[in-house]
Chain A
């Protein structure tokens, strides 16, 4: 079971990596980096399961939050042209 999950993670990481490197538009790449972050969150959870350390789940949650902040910052830059306040 663990092996299957790990293989699935690895394959999807490779697919996402291909999208990051080949990606046609910047938005493809933003989405791909976000997905890579999600896969890494799953990887941390898997590692915590494998090493019998369930406290890794907390770290995985914090990673998900950081990943979200990064993506929101990039998209805000695209929509408003700067990261300052609410000026449009």
Chain B
């Protein structure tokens, strides 16, 4: 019979194939398409892991908004990525060592869903027991996000808002800056 493990292994191998194709791609639009496909598969993976809210965020931000943003940025870029000439062996070794350390550390993690693991012991029982009387919202996730950790959420919103303003400020003057750069290049060529 099909087990959860087989489904997850299938999804991970699809993601691995997309990742390898991403490494080899030199066209910008192809890269954007591959990251979009990767996000979609990751979203399905999150759903099989029963993290529906994370999957929702992954699908809307990863596959939806960031694809559109990448495409909007792509309109300003040349179509082909330049070939890198640097030696890539050293970064590859660093990546492999880091990945190995992370996998090694993952053996120390408590089993998924284990009730006695520290993350379920510290403050979560208070949230679960007190949510209805303290906050009065039926959904515990909402009461944690909006009230118990309300300042956290507020700070995150400010950060995202600031980032949005900064992006708008950069993109607004883009045409002027582009023209300036072009005229400077002409001066260099002529002079």
Our pick among B1, B59, B67 for the contact of A62 (Cβ within 8 Å) is: B59
Q: How far is the CA of A17 from the CA of B44 in the complex (A)?
A: 15
Q: Would you list which residues of chain B between 44 and 67 have a CB under 8 Å from chain A?
A: 44, 47-48, 52, 55-56, 59-60, 63-64, 67
Q: Evaluate whether A66 and B59 lie within 8 angstroms (CB atoms) in the complex, with A3-B2, A77-B71 already known.
A: yes
- How many chain A residues touch B (CB < 8 A): the figure is 32
| Nearest residue, chain B, Cβ from A70 | B67
Our pick among A29, A44, A70, A81 for the contact of B63 (Cβ within 8 Å) is: A70
Binding site secondary structure of chain B: helix
Interface check B161, CB cutoff 8 A? no
Q: Evaluate whether A66 and B10 lie within 8 angstroms (CB atoms) in the complex, with A3-B2, A26-B30 already known.
A: no
Q: Binary interface profile of B, 62-83, with partner A (CB < 8 Å = 1, else 0)?
A: 0110011001101100000000
Q: Would you list which residues of chain A between 32 and 51 have a CB under 8 Å from chain B?
A: 33, 36-37, 40, 43-44, 47
Interface check A74, CB cutoff 8 A? yes
* Contact residues on B (Cβ < 8 Å of other chain), bracket: 35 or more
Smallest CB separation, A49 vs chain B (Å): 13
Question: Given the complex, which residues of B lie within 8 Å of A29, measured CB to CB?
Answer: 30, 33
Across the interface, do A33 and B33 meet the contact criterion of CB distance under 8 Å?
yes
Across the interface, do B18 and A30 meet the contact criterion of CB distance under 8 Å?
no
Question: Given the complex, which residues of B lie within 8 Å of A66, measured CB to CB?
Answer: 59-60, 63-64
Question: Given the complex, which residues of A lie within 8 Å of B30, measured CB to CB?
Answer: 26, 29
Binding site secondary structure of chain A: helix
Question: Given the complex, which residues of A lie within 8 Å of B145, measured CB to CB?
Answer: none
Across the interface, do A17 and B18 meet the contact criterion of CB distance under 8 Å?
yes
Q: Binary interface profile of A, 1-27, with partner B (CB < 8 Å = 1, else 0)?
A: 001001000100110010011000010
Q: How far is the CA of A69 from the CA of B40 in the complex (A)?
A: 13
Across the interface, do A17 and B33 meet the contact criterion of CB distance under 8 Å?
no
Question: Given the complex, which residues of A lie within 8 Å of B59, measured CB to CB?
Answer: 62-63, 66
Q: Binary interface profile of B, 4-21, with partner A (CB < 8 Å = 1, else 0)?
A: 000100100010011001
Across the interface, do B75 and A59 meet the contact criterion of CB distance under 8 Å?
no
